[in-house]
């Protein structure tokens, strides 16, 4: 048996319960969770944004888990036992045309998400498909490594596959003080771009500046000049806020040949598109969804090499998780939060 948090009703904070530790099926692994990321996406998942069927409950949330494999099914190599790992968040099939092409984020037979359709890291043990396991260097700190499977990976996908960021680029990140944004500004710089981080809180702007990006107060998009640099407006705008104002600013501010990258999935949001501006600028609007498995491995390398610094504004044991949730809801957390089972 184990004690951990489970969602018992979608839209309500998870409840501390005692329940059984699962045993792995033939192609699964049992993971002892060492740490789990706590961010806005977990709150969205708990709210039922990605699935809200009653049949999926109770469910242990937490999709950014880091731990050690402690048991494997009969079809899984025994050498995985004892290894430090993280997990790919999407329950991809591994055999459809997109998966075979290495684009697991577009899996045509997606089985859902860790922490929504299978139990995640808000409990000390979980069982997951072996194909979702991604090896990490054993020396990597588990709490620091919780930024790898989503925050850093998502940023790598934006820079590498979607916007194809390079040394000629000027990248503006809207919502740069949040869990993904604070890693996005680092990854964009690593890919060679000049980077500006837009946010509204003083401590977030300080963190953005400390990481070498240009801090920009963005409380009022209507009054925000697109010319953030002497050399011109952004060539890439990455929007983590997803409001009509932020999307409007992104589309009117991006320079010639520019790319606007959208990552938010709010329902019923309508944004105005100016086709003339799009044509005159030869601009592109791009959706970006998570990362490929290979990009999660790259993200792990970048963190292990110290090229991307994990920014975790709050770490706590299980008793403090509710407080981290509250800081996220009120936008008072710089970077990611983390739950440590140590």
Residues at the site binding Zn ion, with contacts judged by CB under 5 A: 92-93, 96, 99, 107, 109
* Cα 309 to Cα 187: distance, rounded to the nearest angstrom: 10
For the record, the structure tokens of 4 come out as 């951990």
Provide, rounded to whole angstroms, the least separation between the CB of residue 292 and Zn ion: 12
| 93 vs 285, beta carbon nearer Zn ion | 93
| 22 vs 94, beta carbon nearer Zn ion | 94
| 9 vs 98, beta carbon nearer Zn ion | 98
| 82 vs 102, beta carbon nearer Zn ion | 102
Backbone φ, ψ for residue 57 (5° rounding) = -100, 155
Provide, rounded to whole angstroms, the least separation between the CB of residue 170 and Zn ion: 36
Neighbouring CB atoms inside 10 A of 190's CB total 16
* Cα 147 to Cα 210: distance, rounded to the nearest angstrom: 18
Provide, rounded to whole angstroms, the least separation between the CB of residue 104 and Zn ion: 7
Provide, rounded to whole angstroms, the least separation between the CB of residue 92 and Zn ion: 5
Question: Do 87 and 55 meet the contact criterion of CB atoms below 8 Å apart?
Answer: no
Beta bridge partners of 127: 30
Place of tokens 């890693």: 183
Q: How large is the C-alpha radius of gyration of the chain?
A: 20
* Cα 178 to Cα 185: distance, rounded to the nearest angstrom: 11
Neighbouring CB atoms inside 10 A of 262's CB total 21
* Cα 23 to Cα 164: distance, rounded to the nearest angstrom: 42
Question: Do 179 and 336 meet the contact criterion of CB atoms below 8 Å apart?
Answer: yes
Q: Greatest CA span in the chain, whole angstroms?
A: 63
Provide, rounded to whole angstroms, the least separation between the CB of residue 108 and Zn ion: 5
Provide, rounded to whole angstroms, the least separation between the CB of residue 271 and Zn ion: 30
| 40 vs 107, beta carbon nearer Zn ion | 107
| 78 vs 109, beta carbon nearer Zn ion | 109
């Amino acid at each position: 048996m184990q004690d951990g948090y489970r969602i018992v009703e979608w839209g309500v904070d998870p409840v501390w319960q005692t329940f059984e530790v699962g045993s792995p099926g033939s192609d699964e692994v049992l993971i002892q969770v060492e740490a789990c990321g706590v961010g806005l996406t977990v709150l969205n998942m708990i709210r039922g944004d990605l699935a809200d069927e009653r049949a999926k409950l109770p469910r242990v949330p937490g999709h950014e888990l880091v731990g050690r494999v402690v048991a494997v099914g009969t079809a899984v190599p025994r050498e995985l036992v004892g290894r430090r790992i993280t997990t790919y968040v999407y329950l991809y099939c591994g055999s459809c045309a997109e998966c075979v092409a290495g684009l697991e984020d577009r899996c045509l037979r997606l089985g859902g998400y860790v922490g929504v359709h299978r139990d995640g890291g808000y409990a000390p043990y979980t069982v997951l498909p072996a194909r979702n396991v991604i090896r990490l260097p054993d020396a990597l700190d588990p709490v620091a490594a919780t930024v790898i499977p989503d925050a850093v990976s998502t940023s790598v996908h934006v820079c590498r596959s979607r916007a194809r960021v390079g040394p000629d680029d000027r990248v503006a990140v809207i919502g740069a003080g949040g869990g993904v944004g604070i890693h996005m500004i680092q990854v964009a710089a690593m890919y060679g771009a000049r980077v500006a981080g837009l946010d509204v809180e003083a401590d977030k702007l300080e963190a953005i500046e400390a990481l070498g990006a240009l801090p920009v107060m963005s409380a009022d998009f209507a009054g925000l000049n697109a010319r953030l640099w002497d050399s011109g407006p952004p060539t890439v705008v990455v929007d983590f806020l997803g409001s009509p104002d932020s999307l409007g600013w992104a589309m009117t501010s991006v320079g010639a040949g520019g790319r606007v990258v959208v990552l938010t999935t709010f329902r019923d949001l309508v944004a105005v598109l100016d086709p003339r501006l799009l044509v005159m600028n030869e601009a592109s609007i791009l959706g970006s969804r998570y990362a490929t498995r290979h990009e999660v491995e790259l993200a792990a390398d970048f963190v292990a090499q110290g090229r991307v610094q994990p920014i975790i504004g709050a770490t706590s044991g299980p008793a403090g998780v509710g407080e981290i949730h509250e800081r996220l809801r009120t936008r008072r957390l710089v970077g990611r939060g983390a739950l440590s089972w140590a």
